[in-house]
Structure 1
Amino acid sequence: MHIHNLSKTPSILNTFISELRDKVIQKDSMRFRRNIERIGEVLGYELSKSLHFENRNIETPLGISSTQLYKNEIVLCSILRAGVPLHNGLLNYFDAAENAFISAYRHHKHNPESFEIVVEYLACPSLEGKTLILADPMLATGQSMVATFEALKPFGTAKEVHLVSVIGAQKGVDFVSQSFSSDTHLWIADIDDTLNDKGYIIPGLGDAGDLAFGNKLQQ
């Protein structure tokens, strides 16, 4: 797998990440969502450099301008619900992309320390021969990414696969590296070293879904 960790090069991206992590600033859910969206835009821009381009002539009011435009057919798939702001950021740049949505959540069978990933809702166009961008803001264990990709297989074989995350744990990065083909790309804003016993990234930022949209109903 090709891993693109953008935190290795200091940039304005660091500001957005630091505000996501800050326990005071992140209480503003609107700002939290906007920072994830902005990170999605940065990751989308970097990802775009790896796409396939072709020369096209654009007619201006005064003549012809030749430029290179990407020719990939993109399907952007996000994992609900935390993936929505990240999806919006990517869609701001890939505005012609088709869209897919999937719900994948942790189901704790016996205790809080063990869980399985359950996929319920899924809406997706054909992926055959297209470029799949699979977005999930938190790459903790990596199980959600893998479960989602498996659920998408009946919709066709993508020509290229790109994974996009905001913050990941090294364990999750290693897991997806082993689970996806070697030509898959991972675009990620930062990678932390540790997971706790409940599978949350340390230091991370907390529960991205709750911070963006409010606490889930406890059953």
Structure 2
Amino acid sequence: MIHILGENNSLFNQFIAEIRDEVVQKDSLRFRRNLERVGEIFAYEISKQLEFKTEDVTTPLGVAKVPTLAQQPVLATILRAGLPLHQGLLNYFDQGENCFISAYRKYDEGGEFHIEFEYISSPSVEDKIVILSDPMLATGASMEIGYRALLEKGTPKHVHMVSVIASQEGVDYLKKHMPQNNYTLWIGAIDQEMTPKSYIVPGLGDAGDLAYGVKMDSKKKTHNR
């Protein structure tokens, strides 16, 4: 199941426009806040797919029966670019547990790269709902590696994958490599092109650099995500 929020006219698209805009991007604080706001909207939409239970809530005048979440999700993200988006999700799922995954593009001498997984800091995800976020879904490899890393901590009940901008290639990759009955993909917008270095076009650029500043490349040409 794939949900593309940008296909419907809403305030969501205003935030996407600002996230893409190279002029607005010069304000890193606003860029981070827009990613956070987008994360909040994703959280609201995902919540409609979750299980609820009815609770009795005592007010000063009586008792109200209110539907509340039956289970809080585990919120997982891929460092470092995913942090603002993760914060937006956490603002709404504020009682959820948290998971952080370190993965990056490791380049060889010829300029080719593969996604390298380093570590995961996570609670058990056994039989839990997981929301895995990464602002850009380019090749799809980072999201798949994030999912595989989660399996070290148990077997999730279901995984909701969240990206602000995706390439069609990345979406097709996940369709091919992910178990079809255990994930839902949530996308802001899908772009059709990628550069030879696997940057989405028109995309928005490097989300990590725009949020937290340009990183210095090491002599081994490793680029943190």
Instruction: Say whether the fold is shared (TM-score over 0.5).
Output: yes
Looking at structure 1, the residues matched to 212 and 50 of structure 2 have their Cα atoms a distance apart, in angstroms, of 32
Partner of 1:191: 190
Superposed counterparts of 1:46-195, under 5 Å: 46-112=45-111, 114-183=112-181, 184-195=183-194
Q: Secondary structure at the match of 1:128?
A: coil
Looking at structure 2, the residues matched to 111 and 71 of structure 1 have their Cα atoms a distance apart, in angstroms, of 50
Structure 2: tracts of 5 or more residues without a match: 219-225
The C-alpha deviation readout for 1:57-105, integer Å capped at 9, x for no partner, is: 1111110001111112311011000000000000000001000101111
The C-alpha deviation readout for 1:176-215, integer Å capped at 9, x for no partner, is: 1222222311111111111110000000000000000000
* Offset, 1:149: 1.2
Structure 1: tracts of 5 or more residues without a match: none
Aligned-pair identity (%): 52
Looking at structure 2, the residues matched to 182 and 115 of structure 1 have their Cα atoms a distance apart, in angstroms, of 27
CA contact (8 A) 2:102 2:117 kept: yes
The C-alpha deviation readout for 1:90-128, integer Å capped at 9, x for no partner, is: 00000010001011110011333x211111131010010
Looking at structure 2, the residues matched to 88 and 54 of structure 1 have their Cα atoms a distance apart, in angstroms, of 25
Looking at structure 2, the residues matched to 111 and 49 of structure 1 have their Cα atoms a distance apart, in angstroms, of 46
Given residue 88 of structure 1, which amino acid in structure 2 is its aligned partner? Q
Looking at structure 1, the residues matched to 188 and 152 of structure 2 have their Cα atoms a distance apart, in angstroms, of 30
What is the alpha-carbon root mean square deviation over aligned residues? Answer: 0.9
Partner of 1:42: 41
Given residue 116 of structure 1, which amino acid in structure 2 is its aligned partner? H
Give TM-score scaled by structure 1 length.
0.97
4+ runs deviating over 4 angstroms:
none
Give TM-score scaled by structure 2 length.
0.94
Moved more, 33-42 or 172-181: 172-181
